[in-house]
Structure 1
Amino acid sequence: MTRFTSLALGAAFLSSLTYALPSNTPLNTPRYNNVKNNCGPPPSYGTPHAISRAQAVVDVFKTSWDGYYTYAFPSDELEPVNNTASNSRNGWGASAVDALSTALLMGETETVNQILEHIPTIDWSQTSDEVSLFETTIRYLGGMLSGYDLLSGPLSHLADDPANVDALLAQAINLANNLSYAFETPSGVPWNNLDFATRGNDGSENGLATVGTLILEWVRLADLSGNETYRSLVHKAENYLIAPSPASSEPFPGLLGTNINVTTGLFTDAKGGWVGGSDSFYEYLIKMYIYNPRYELLRDRWIAAADSTIKYLTSHPVSRPDLTFVAAYDGTTLRLRSQHLACFDGGNFILGGQVLGIEKYINYGLALVEGCHDTYTSTATGIGPEQFAWDPTSVPANQSGFFNTSGFYITDPSYDLRPEVIESFYYAYRATSDPKYQDWAWEAFVAINATTRVGSGYSAITNVNAPDGGDFSNFQESFWFAEVLKYSYLIQAPEAEWQVSKYGKNEWVFNTEAHPVRVSH
């Protein structure tokens, strides 16, 4: 089969998923009752011990929100050391929008309504800063769509004013309309970094993750709004990823390069892995199949990537052969290094294995979870580093002992309030019901709380292998609310319809920012 034919088939398949709905006509969204699986009894969740832990996470959420709301709202982030505000996400209130779905799942009514009062006031057309299509999609668009799904469904009682619920969808449409010019390229592969004032962009390349992590949110918006333009834009871009060219950009079946020429749609390298810049593209392949089983082609691409990862990228450190890591690659040359960001991979393999009913993926994911757990338990703070490696030919002299004991050495010791390790603990627990994963998540949460708490909130730190965490970076990321606190809560919380099902049949799917959206019906 020629390269051209493969692309044409991919385009035809994705085009077949475009439904004949009138443009700009909202769909009726029913109110939902809790969904019960018919695959046997659910695991035993919500023990008193776990519930007390869940409440402790809620208390940390309240502390974080109070600091942000007092000193930074409606700016994007809190700088907790000196009680000031930061605007790294265009000044639209990133922490507020990112916190909405977590506040909803926790039942924090006052916080929910503070956020709901803010969102209708946002003018998406006004910003003096560069706009990231990727970050804006996963945080703002994903956050509002998730809030709309939850508040027009099982959590409708938490909204004081129903008009604010309607405003979530209206504002999601407004935001997407402001972003949509990004797709006006010769190929349809969008620009990522946008200048709203001039409708400009920053160049001719985009990345695998920043192109491939749009489809869930934009398709959900199409389904809720009835406007098929949103679906067609991301389908066209996705075609270049599921049928990549040139052939050299796919060094292993299903595993791709990172950078894409926006003019031609061609990949410009063959470097990648389950690391930043590529990671959430692979994540969304299986999640789109969960969202709508008609995305069989994306499911098959996930299977190809998963099988190649197991066959070609699996790596065991020479000093700790009991650990399993996933290597990065440059062409077919492996790079024995990884990142905290990549530690979502265990959870994604577990989720894929559950949904597909394939045990080897679950078992592989659990092995990856063990490896990432070790990056936490090996450091002085009990928190994993931003980047690490296990290449025995490049071990720094001052970390040789650490490498011999831990199986890796630290290449970037910072911690930016990242969620990925706890995220994978969550999926491991939901699949196995083994309480050790609850314990691991709790231990990580306690370590993070002890080390990053400062001033009016929580801050990124500079050195996880210093007993006190080094210095504070004075920055409380919006995904602290969306991801770290959500996964730390959900792994301890009682059963609910949005919890990931042990049996592979899910009514909700989490976007890469941990915002749950209702699957397509």
Structure 2
Amino acid sequence: MTHPGLPRVNGVVRRGVLRAVSAVGGTAAVAALGSPLRAGNVSAQVSGARPGTPPASRIGPADPEKAQEIRAEFLHAWNGYRKYAWGHDEVLPVSGGYREFFSGRHPVGLSIVEALDTHYVMGLDDEVDRCVQWIRARLDFDLDTDFHVFEAIIRLVGGLLAGYLATDDRQLLALCVDLADRLLPAFTKSPTGMPYRRVNLRTGAVSGSKVPLAEIGTNILEFGVLSQVTGDPRYFRAAKRALAAVVERRSSLDLVGTTMDVETGRWLDRADIGPNPPADSFYEYLWGGWAMFGDTDCLNWFRIFDASLRKHLAERTGGLLWFKQVDFRTGALLGRRQSCLAACVLSVGGDEALAADYHRSWTAVQEKYLVLPEEIDYRRLSVLTPGNALRPEYANSAFDLYRRTGDPVYRAAAWRYFQNQKTFQRVPGGYTVVTDVTKRPMPKGDYCPAYVFAENFKWLYLTFADAERFDYGTGYLSTEAKILRGLRGRGTAPTVTGKAVPGA
């Protein structure tokens, strides 16, 4: 996943579809490429996967003691937010303050929205109700301020969607639709269909034409599910058009740059940084478009980039798998930096051997520093950026691999991650960032990102609990760990499993 403040793959390459895209252009391409198919209508050729469903779950028996400890620590963090920052976006757990994420003048209860489906899947119904009551009474997106489009989609649109799927509360869906409609001008006003970076929620004015790859391509899961549950194809179409516009601008090596001018459609740099931010979730969502909606275009696009990243970026150093940075036009080496946010990207796509290799690489880093640094030089596992902003990606990878393989090594890795997080990042007011993982004691900052309530503890809890409200066989989570398929239990929450995107 991608977060602000950071300079934030086996298959046969089939070029026919992509060359057609290049020939007709982005807008026409989406119409020509057709619509996502129902899950049962397509036969997948990748690692035995079927469209619309993940590989069979091999999750082992629950470990209730560990699951309950993780749940208790989530509540410790949540109680700090409730005490110091209720109704605001994020808590400062050391000083007992708060900060707003999108706009200093307009809190939107970001942590409340982020936490909705975590509370639900942990069975914390009183907290679900408390959050829903606040949202129904206080959340309003008629704001004369610019919102970061990418973050609003993965966090607020995704959070409200997951909350709706958990509770069947129609007001959550109405708010989700209202926000998505206010964000759509970022796509529809763009000459290329690739979204502007910011949009004014009241006026629809757009700004920020220089946009990182992940922000262009991390929309199809949230917007696709919204199209499913509303019957309105505009959201899916906008997201897919943006993906197609990137794909048609790849180089002859099937590589892409990092930042695009979405008005001119020109790359603003020459670096393909692979699974690192700010490109990471672009690859996740290509696979997600196939896994969630059976979209064969997304599958073909994923295969193309999967093959090119393996060919031009993958290398081994000290027996560990990493991905170098190269010139996307020539393949020339540019660097060997690696961000801990990349740790979860390879766990999509069904290639367990490759994902396991990459997980071992990050396990080596965790064993060396106990808490993952933000960025390393992988040749010597030396630290380049020493802080850790409570990053969840390693836990995400451990869960994905454990669910698919049943290998207890991934549970053990997740437990070490949790214990280290508890040792070095727990404070009386919750959990906080650390500023230098190389020092002892690790110096702490004063900030708990809202995504902690969506991600860290949810990935860990699902790894150790046989959660009754989550279907381990069909469940699918977004890059922000929003459960967009597979919620079950309380009430009669609607399902989107296997549904086509209407009119796409």
User: Structure 1 length as normaliser, TM-score?
Assistant: 0.81
CA contact (8 A) 1:425 1:438 kept: yes
Task: Please name the residue that 1:481 is paired with.
Answer: 453
1:422 partnered with 2:395: yes
Q: Which amino acid letter does the alignment assign opposite residue 409 of structure 1?
A: S
Give me the whole-angstrom Cα distance separating, in 2, the residues matched to 1:9 and 1:196: 28
CA contact (8 A) 2:185 2:199 kept: no
Give me the whole-angstrom Cα distance separating, in 1, the residues matched to 2:343 and 2:251: 22
Out of 340, 354, 357, the residue aligned to residue 364 of structure 1 is 354
1:419-498 matched pairs, under 5 angstroms:
419-470=392-443, 472-494=444-466, 496=468, 498=470
1:330 partnered with 2:327: yes
Q: 1:52 to 1:233 in 2, by over 3 A?
A: same
CA contact (8 A) 2:59 2:403 kept: no
Q: Which amino acid letter does the alignment assign opposite residue 328 of structure 1?
A: Q
Task: Please name the residue that 1:234 is paired with.
Answer: 239
> Which deviations, in whole Å up to 9, do the C-alpha atoms of 1:276-324 show, x marking residues without a partner?
111101000111111111x11111111222222222212222xxx2211
1:80-229 matched pairs, under 5 angstroms:
80-90=93-103, 91-120=107-136, 121-126=138-143, 128=145, 130-152=146-168, 165-183=169-187, 184-196=189-201, 199-229=204-234
Give me the whole-angstrom Cα distance separating, in 1, the residues matched to 2:212 and 2:292: 23
Give me the whole-angstrom Cα distance separating, in 1, the residues matched to 2:377 and 2:263: 35
Identity of matched residues, % = 27
CA contact (8 A) 1:10 1:242 kept: no
| Structure 2 unpaired stretches of 5+ | 1-18, 39-52, 486-496, 500-504
CA contact (8 A) 2:110 2:156 kept: yes
Give me the whole-angstrom Cα distance separating, in 2, the residues matched to 1:201 and 1:9: 23
Task: Please name the residue that 1:25 is paired with.
Answer: none
Task: Please name the residue that 2:80 is paired with.
Answer: 67
1:378 partnered with 2:368: yes
Task: Please name the residue that 1:159 is paired with.
Answer: none
1:268 is displaced (CA, Å) by: 3.3
Give me the whole-angstrom Cα distance separating, in 2, the residues matched to 1:228 and 1:262: 22
Give me the whole-angstrom Cα distance separating, in 1, the residues matched to 2:194 and 2:482: 25
Give me the whole-angstrom Cα distance separating, in 2, the residues matched to 1:497 and 1:250: 44
* Aligned residues: CA RMSD: 2.3
CA contact (8 A) 2:37 2:293 kept: no
1:386 is displaced (CA, Å) by: 0.1
SS at match of 1:100: helix
CA contact (8 A) 1:346 1:367 kept: no
Q: 1:383 to 1:99 in 2, by over 3 A?
A: same
Give me the whole-angstrom Cα distance separating, in 1, the residues matched to 2:223 and 2:419: 36
Q: Which amino acid letter does the alignment assign opposite residue 287 of structure 1?
A: G
Task: Please name the residue that 1:388 is paired with.
Answer: 376
CA contact (8 A) 2:478 2:484 kept: yes
Q: 1:18 to 1:241 in 2, by over 3 A?
A: farther
Relative to structure 2, which stretch is displaced further, 461-470 or 228-237? 228-237
1:17 is displaced (CA, Å) by: 4.0
Which protein has greater RCO, CA pairs closer than 8 Å, 6+ apart?
A: 2
Give me the whole-angstrom Cα distance separating, in 1, the residues matched to 2:326 and 2:198: 26
Give me the whole-angstrom Cα distance separating, in 2, the residues matched to 1:38 and 1:131: 33
Q: Which amino acid letter does the alignment assign opposite residue 365 of structure 1?
A: A
1:127 is displaced (CA, Å) by: 5.5
SS at match of 2:184: helix
> Which deviations, in whole Å up to 9, do the C-alpha atoms of 1:127-161 show, x marking residues without a partner?
64x31100000001001111212223xxxxxxxxx
Relative to structure 2, which stretch is displaced further, 95-104 or 325-334? 325-334
Q: Which amino acid letter does the alignment assign opposite residue 30 of structure 2?
A: A
Task: Please name the residue that 1:397 is paired with.
Answer: none
Task: Please name the residue that 2:490 is paired with.
Answer: none
User: Structure 2 length as normaliser, TM-score?
Assistant: 0.83
1:290-369 matched pairs, under 5 angstroms:
290-293=291-294, 295-317=295-317, 321-331=318-328, 332-334=331-333, 335-348=335-348, 352-353=349-350, 361-369=351-359
Give me the whole-angstrom Cα distance separating, in 2, the residues matched to 1:309 and 1:216: 23
Aligned length: 446
Q: 1:213 to 1:257 in 2, by over 3 A?
A: same
Give me the whole-angstrom Cα distance separating, in 2, the residues matched to 1:227 and 1:169: 13
Q: Which amino acid letter does the alignment assign opposite residue 480 of structure 1?
A: V
Give me the whole-angstrom Cα distance separating, in 2, the residues matched to 1:316 and 1:500: 33
CA contact (8 A) 1:422 1:488 kept: yes
Give me the whole-angstrom Cα distance separating, in 2, the residues matched to 1:376 and 1:108: 31
| Structure 1 unpaired stretches of 5+ | 20-36, 153-164, 354-360, 392-402, 502-506
